[in-house]
Structure 1
């Protein structure tokens, strides 16, 4: 079972360590796609970070910290890990852990992005969702869709603007998401918006990401 105690803070990165492999679907930098993984990393890099091969550099970083490359999913962000926010939510026999970091300098409205040339910028929303339950692949992907919908809802309510278009952003150009299930406990065939899993993801991510966005805005306002 994944709980808040499963999350370990190491300064420049946060690690979520499971007792065994979890069914995983993600757009993470390292080990994207579908698979079974045990270690999950969210890493802070400096704003000047531009290696010749970021994927290779990430592999070297993970190896230096003792994480097996074939068992680890990893993301990176310029957001300091002191702004990594985690929450635990429960509904009956199913529970989830949500962990996010939110950087918004690179906010983009995907419905308008074809009209403009966007320069590389620091800013990304990294989302990890751990589900203590047994999900079909269909349910896992449906729950991921609920998470993306929730992210867009939060940015809309917080009035996060794409600076190129002047319209409400739907995300950033470098967002990453990882959703996993322990494959133990209550069985879920579906994970859409009115299911137990989907609604739990919506509630949990809405609360956690709202806090992360508020703290990011407070921090950046203080520096401006």
Structure 2
């Protein structure tokens, strides 16, 4: 079972370490897409980070820390891991673990992105949602959709703006999301907004990301 105790803090990165591989879908820089993975990494990089090949650099980093490349999903962000927020939610026999970091320098309104030709800057929202339950591929995809909806709701309520267009941002141009399930326990054919899994994600991510955004805004104000 995945719990808060599954999270390991290593300073510049955080790892969620499962006892066995989880069924996963993600947009992570390392091992995006579908697969079975056991280690989930959120890593802080310097704001000046600009390697010639970020994928290769990430592989070298993971190997240096002892994580098997074929069993690991990894994301990166300029946000310090001390600003990572983790929460655990449950409803009956189903539960979810969330790990979130929020950087907003690169906030973008996707409905107006075609008007912006600038290069992306460092700043991203990284979201890990690990589910104790058995999910179909359909449910995993629907769960990811719920996560995106919750993220957009938070940015709207917090009035996070796209600096180029002045409109409400829907995310950042480098956001990453990972949804993974243990494939043990309660079965979920669907993961949409009115299902047990979808509603848990909606509530949990809304609360957790709201805290992360508030902390980020407070920190930026304190350094300005």
Q: Give yes or no for the alignment of 1:111 onto 2:111.
A: yes
- Mapped to 1, the partners of 2:195 and 2:176 lie a distance apart of 24
| 1:53 shift after superposition | 1.0
User: 1:214 corresponds to which residue?
Assistant: 214
Structure 1: 5+ residue runs without aligned partners? none
Q: CA deviation at 1:119?
A: 2.3
What secondary structure does 1:111 align onto? helix
Structure 2 match to 1:24: 24
Looking at structure 1, the residues matched to 118 and 75 of structure 2 have their Cα atoms a distance apart, in angstroms, of 22
- Residues 96-127 of structure 1 show CA distances to partners (whole Å, capped at 9, x for unaligned) of 00100000000000000101212221100000
Distance 1:142 1:116 in 2: 29
Distance 1:141 1:118 in 2: 30
| Deviations 1:17-70, CA, capped at 9 Å, x for gaps | 000000000000000000000000000000111111111111010000000000
**1:121-140 map, 5 Å:** 121-140=121-140
Take 1:200 and 1:86, find their aligned partners in 2: how far apart are those partners? 14
Give matches, 1:1-80, under 5 Å.
Answer: 1-80=1-80
Query: What SS is found at the alignment partner of 1:183?
Result: coil
TM-score (norm 2): 0.99
1:193 corresponds in structure 2 to: 193
| Count of aligned residue pairs for this structure pair | 224
Q: Report the secondary structure of 2:111's partner residue.
A: coil
Match of 2:184 in 1: 184
Structure 2 regions of 5+ residues with no counterpart?
Answer: none
What residue in structure 1 maps to residue 87 of structure 2? 87
CA–CA separation in structure 1 for the residues paired with 2:118 and 2:217? 22
Q: Secondary structure at the match of 1:40?
A: strand
> Could you tell which deviates more after superposition, 117-126 or 211-220?
117-126
> Which ranges of 4 or more aligned residues in structure 1 deviate by more than 4 Å?
none
- Name the CA distance, whole Å, in 2 between partners of 1:212 and 1:74: 20
TM-score by length of 1: 0.99
Shift of 1:14: 0.1
| Alpha-carbon distance, 1:156 to partner | 0.1
Q: Distance in 1 between matches of 2:169 and 2:51?
A: 28
Cα RMSD after superposing both structures: 0.5
